[in-house]
Amino acid sequence: MTKILTSPDGTPASRLAFGAMQFGGAADAQASRAMFDACIAAGITHFDTAHVYTGGASETLLGGMLGDRRDGLPIATKVAYDGGGSKQNIHRSFEISRQRLNMDMVDILYLHRFDPDTDLHESMEALAELKQQGLIRYVGVSNFAAWQVVKAIGIAAKFDITVDILQPMYNLVKRQAEVEILPMCADQNVACAPYSPLGGGLLTGKYASGGAGRLIEDDRYTKRYGLEWMHQAARDLAEVAVDVGTDPATLAVAWAAAHPMGPTPIISARSTAQLAPSLAAMTYEMPPALYARLAALSPTPPPATDRIEEQA
Ligand SMILES: NC(=O)c1ccc[n+]([C@@H]2O[C@H](COP(=O)([O-])OP(=O)(O)OC[C@H]3O[C@@H](n4cnc5c(N)ncnc54)[C@H](OP(=O)(O)O)[C@@H]3O)[C@@H](O)[C@H]2O)c1
């Protein structure tokens, strides 16, 4: 049974989450508000932001939209992408984030990435302090390898807390999480909210027809999705989408959500028009044969043991 986090009034986190990374950046205040409203209308309860997004505008805009819905929405932010995992950086960044969000308590706080230069005991102790003070309800980690999560779980126990949720990258052309991360989450009772279900936009198919977007505008994404087989998979996905009469973005998000571990992908966009096909995945039931057909569009990552002859 997949662990499901809840809001302060007990509302469960929705099947998909929405990420506010574009709020105050590619999406202005009006476009951001329209996407928030579309998410609420579609039944999304789980919203995600981070201390580093758009210089703080993402947190400020999201916090300003919650109003009297706040207690029914599990809200997540992340700290320590910059500045390392020291106690001082975690406490200082979180306090700024909490003020931007205008929240007494933030439901989920993630360490945004693993810091090899800081003892993980120090970072986990900082999160335990925030939890004991009632300032956060759930502890998360993002961009951690599976062994780093298990290490964090062991350390967390010393401080009487649990690691409740992991936020890895996962989509049809970034499938490393299948090898250790998703099985580890199932085994360790850690919820999983993977990001980039569309591969930053690649899996919409728009780049095959000369479209513009993040993969052209942002060097990190150009490089991350720069391999030809990934672009071929996106073209193939677009063909399958025509065949089954659905938008490729709907299929990509629904495929990530259909992993047997039960992850809750974080969708995002710069406008409600872009968001619509991802939101449609909220109600899209993925038939097993279609799930397998989509999985066959990209290489299955080899097993952790490298014994490929034993792979199902
Ligand atoms: N923990 C982390 O390190 C981390 C990293 C990344 C994201 N995240 C979280 O996960 C959330 C989602 O990640 P993501 O934005 O990478 O998700 P994604 O779904 O892979 O990519 C979303 C992007 O794809 C493009 N797009 C979406 N729908 C489209 C459509 N219908 N037609 C054309 N283009 C479309 C838009 O970018 P363009 O218009 O620019 O092409 C949009 O911003 C973020 O908001 C954030 O909360 C976390």
Pick the CATH number of 17-201+249-286 from 3.20.20.100, 3.40.605.10, 3.40.50.720, 3.30.70.560: 3.20.20.100
CA of 287 to the centre of ligand 1 (A): 25
- Would you say 298 and 173 are in contact if contact means Cβ atoms under 8 Å apart? yes
Tens digit of each residue's pLDDT, the chain (312 residues): 689 999 999 999 999 999 999 999 999 999 999 999 999 999 999 999 999 999 999 999 999 999 999 999 999 999 999 999 999 999 999 999 999 999 999 999 999 999 999 999 999 999 999 999 999 999 999 999 999 999 999 999 999 999 999 999 999 999 999 999 999 999 999 999 999 999 999 999 999 999 999 999 999 999 999 999 999 999 999 999 999 999 999 999 999 999 999 999 999 999 999 999 999 999 999 999 999 999 999 999 999 999 999 887
- Mutate which of 167, 195, 216 for ligand 1? The one with the most ligand atoms within 8 Å of its CB, which is 195
Residue 94: the pLDDT is: 98
Six token digits for residue 111: 């360490």
Q: 214 C-alpha vs ligand 1 centroid, how far in Å?
A: 8
DSSP collapsed to 3 states, 291-311: HHHHHCCCCCCCCCCCCHHHC
Determine the Cα–Cα distance for residues 35 and 290; give it in Å rounded to an integer: 29
Ligand 1 mean position, distance from CA 66 (Å): 21
Decide whether any atom of ligand 1 lies within 6 Å of the 196 Cβ: yes
Angstrom distance (rounded) from CA 228 to CA 236: 12
Name the residue at shortest CA distance from atom 8 of ligand 1: 195
User: Where does residue 189 fall: left (phi above 0), alpha (psi -120 to 50 degrees), or beta otherwise?
Assistant: left
* Total Cβ atoms within 10 A of residue 157: 12
pLDDT of residue 249: 98
- pLDDT at residue number 1: 61
Side-chain half-sphere CA neighbours of 149 within 13 A: 30
Atom 46 (ligand 1) nearest CA: 19
Distance 195 CA to ligand 1 centre (A): 8
pTM of the predicted model over 0.85? yes
Whole-number pLDDT of residue 182: 98
Angle between helices 272-279 and 248-257 (to 10 degrees): 50
How high is the pLDDT of residue 100? 98
Count CA atoms within 13 Å of residue 207 on its CB side. Answer: 24
DSSP state of 108: E
205, 274 contact by CB (below 8 A): no
The residue whose CA is least distant from atom 24 of ligand 1 is 201
- Atom 4 in ligand 1: residue holding the nearest Cα: 195
pLDDT at 2: 83
- Ligand 1 and 282: CB distance under 6 A: no
pLDDT at residue number 165 = 98
pLDDT at 91: 98
Question: Which ligand 1 atom sits nearest the alpha carbon of residue 206?
Answer: 33
Closest atom of ligand 1 to 112 CA is 1
pLDDT value at residue 310: 86
pLDDT of residue 125: 98
Does ligand 1 come within 6 angstroms of the Cβ of 19?
yes
Q: Residues with Cβ < 8 Å from 289, sequence gap 6 or more? A: none
User: Catalytic annotation on 195?
Assistant: no
Residue whose CA is at the smallest distance from ligand 1 atom 1: 142
Q: How far is the CA of 194 from the centre of ligand 1 (A)?
A: 11
293 CA from centroid of ligand 1 (Å): 24
| Domain boundaries along the sequence of the chain | 17-201+249-286
* Atom 31 of ligand 1, nearest CA residue: 274
Query: Does residue 173 have its Cβ closer than 6 Å to ligand 1?
Result: no
